Structure 1
């Protein structure tokens, strides 16, 4: 996908924007189930490290072929910091959490990230509106409810892992905007994936992770899906939305993904989600919607 601006038609959203919305909603919503299947053969940090290294190499090669310059030394250093936080911590510990907690519940918890980033921006004196504060408060109540559900209460390790994932991803997101900017465009994403992939592989080696032989077909297919659809297509679609769609629409994946992931987890993976956990997820998503609405206003 290129970054040429295409204005929405008067009748509604352009086909290009609709396709990109479908990519961020459906593809990103399904990646967490793909992580679950890939875990059968690929341990968490090794899975994520090889995924982002492969995607980073492909994206960087594509950008170089199109004549884009390599990031500067400072931008590579920034990519290392952001990649270590968002991918090393965020995605590595997300996969770790999915070893003991259902993918649907993990994504429901991840929906709190917009609330965390809003809270962290207070250190830069970005004061939320009243509606944003209400959304943050409601979202916090939903997360506390979610922690009391069957899934997380039965797995303290999974709860700790997903908490670390959300904190590091949120911190990386804020620092990438405030302190450690990446190279512009897709090359910035490529450098982040390459640097983060190296960090993930190093963590994998330190943990002594090993592939589960023989490799299962569904795990290999899930890994390929994560590289091609989750990392390459999903990220490019999100970049187009950021450039061409209203901010609220571009970030709408944050409250659509959990619903899709929970439905897929139940329908395909046979995960059990109690009515209380569904209600808790609904409270979290209500908080996110109010936060995004307050941010737009």
Structure 2
């Protein structure tokens, strides 16, 4: 499971750079994103059809799948691609790090509070780490358009939380994660292409840089990355897979520096240590809580229960 998680983080960390390269090369954001997801979704559904023979959706699932495609593909990535016209790839990745905190808050209100203190500590530690690693770069991007891009991406991340929780419900009902992944991308990609038709010019939008980044995003970002994400959501719940948004900003910063000369400093290394520590707390919360209970009693950190005689 952790091998899949590591590969997913690496893939998603590099997709921010690929998006930035394509956008800077002149790709219309909605068309760039829409065609990526539409084609990837068709590939996924065709592959599942050939291997398993069934890609249809139960009537009760169709509305939820449309909601997942709308919020987790059309809204989230439409805003992300548009935002990367005005901010660096590493700052865009930082904004994505708000999703796990939003998910944990929603789960808390839903009554899902298992090991919440340790998970909360891990989420906070990771978010601080992302801030330490990336926030110094925000000074480079200050401007009206950059501020608007930040607001738009944060709003999209809030919608992504709703989509993530909906996807968990659909997967718990028995829908194959690759079928959900395929339909999500087809729905969201179609919406983005239609939006591009009425808002963006299509003339002269293809060059080598756009094509290479577009192909990378389809093969690795959509097919490998999102497939791994849904497999992890089904296996471990939505919180752990969503912590890719903590690892990926640091990865995005390193690759952004190497390829595009984006901001990088010693803060990046300190932030990475905090990020990894926080993710460890989230992923091993149950084990750590049990260890604290066992050892806390020995060191007097937890009060021992009084005997029946004393309670009387």
Question: Smaller-chain TM-score range?
Answer: 0.7 to 0.9
Matched, 1:150 2:167: no
| Corresponding residue to 2:218 among 206, 219, 227 | 227
The reply to whether residue 191 of structure 1 matches residue 183 of structure 2 is yes
Matched ranges for 1:14-29 at <5 A:
18=3, 20-21=4-5, 23-29=7-13
- TM-score, normalization by structure 2: 0.76
TM-score (structure 1 length as normaliser): 0.79
Task: Report which of the two structures shows the higher radius of gyration computed on alpha carbons.
Answer: 2
The equivalent position to 1:125 in structure 2, one of 111, 118, 127, is: 111
Q: What does 1:212-251 correspond to in 2, within 5 Å?
A: 213=204, 215-240=206-231
Name whichever of 188-197 and 233-242 sits farther off: 233-242
CA distance in 2, matches of 1:135, 1:80: 32
Q: What secondary structure sits across from 2:260 in the alignment?
A: coil
Question: Aligned residue for 1:54?
Answer: 39
Alignment partner, residue 299 of structure 2? none
CA RMSD of aligned residues (A): 3.4
- Looking at structure 2, the residues matched to 162 and 182 of structure 1 have their Cα atoms a distance apart, in angstroms, of 31
Aligned runs of 1:157-172 on 2, under 5 Å? 157-172=148-163
Is it true that 1:81 corresponds to 2:67 in the alignment?
yes
Structure 1 unaligned regions, length at least 5: 1-12
Deviation at 1:243, TM superposition (A): 6.5
- What displacement does 1:195 show? 0.9
How far the C-alpha of 1:111 sits from its partner, in A, is 2.0
Alpha-carbon distance, 1:134 to partner: 2.8
Deviations 1:116-145 (A, max 9, x none): 111122331223621223344445666777
1:203 partnered with 2:198 = no
1:202 Cα offset (Å): 3.0
Q: 1:99 aligns with which of 81, 85, 90?
A: 85
Deviations 1:203-253 (A, max 9, x none): 3234x1123615220111110111111111223334555677899986663
Structure 2: give runs of 5+ residues left out of the alignment.
290-312
Return closer, same or farther for 1:246/1:196 CA change in 2, 3 Å cut-off: closer
Q: Cα distance 1:259–1:147, how it changes in 2: closer, same or farther (>3 A)? A: closer
Are 1:41 and 1:212, in contact at CA under 8 Å, matched by a contact in 2? no
Stretch deviating more after TM superposition (63-72 or 252-261): 252-261
- Kept after mapping to 1: 8 A contact 2:20/2:89: yes
3-state secondary structure, aligned to 1:84: helix
Q: Secondary structure at the match of 1:169?
A: helix
